[in-house]
Amino acid sequence: MKLVYCPDCQDLVRLFREDRRCKCGQSGGHYEPNGRDAVLWGQAIPFGLDNFELGRALQRRPEAGLGRAVSFFIIPRQSPRISYQEQDSNWYWERYQRTGLYEDMTTWLKHKAWESWGISLEGKVGRYAKK
């Protein structure tokens, strides 16, 4: 399964079809309908967890001592299964409501202006996806 890690709040959340976001709300994502590809936003860093090893470790959970190790790996910056999306102005508005930061307000206003000018946000990518 895929998870996303947020470098700001160090939260780690599992992806589902519905949007998930980290504790601070800066990073998140969801699975595409095919259940394999994922769309992320913000500073989300994708991780993979070996489902088979997880199942085996759960089955063989010891009463005491050391538990069984489960492999957990960071997904490379370039992955055909991961894409990044720019958020619309509502998302920036919600972030500004959460943080109350001046810089989040100006970011929200900028995105709102781009939308009202009809500037397409397609093709913009998150900073971790830049080549």
Enumerate binding residues for Zn ion (CB under 5 A): 6, 8-9, 22, 24, 26
- Cβ-based nearer residue to Zn ion, 68 or 94: 94
The least CB distance from residue 22 to Zn ion, in Å, is 3
In the bound state with Zn ion, the residue whose beta carbon lies nearer, of 9 and 113, is: 9
Distance CA 43, CA 1 (A): 19
Residue 71 one-letter amino acid? S
For residue 69, give the DSSP letter. P
Indicate the residue among 20 and 112 with the shorter CB distance to Zn ion: 20
Give the residue nearest to Zn ion (CB): 6
Smallest distance, Zn ion to C-beta of residue 131, A = 25
Task: Choose between 6 and 15: whose C-beta lies nearer to Zn ion.
Answer: 6
Q: Is 56 helix (H, G, I), strand (E, B) or coil?
A: helix
Tokens read off for 104: 């989040």
Both tokens of residue 14?
């599992």
- Least separation in angstroms between residue 113's CB and Zn ion is 26
Contacts of 55 (CB under 8 A, 6+ apart): none
Least distance from Zn ion to the Cβ atom of residue 99, Å? 11
Q: How far is CA 122 from CA 13, 70, 87, in A?
A: 26, 37, 10
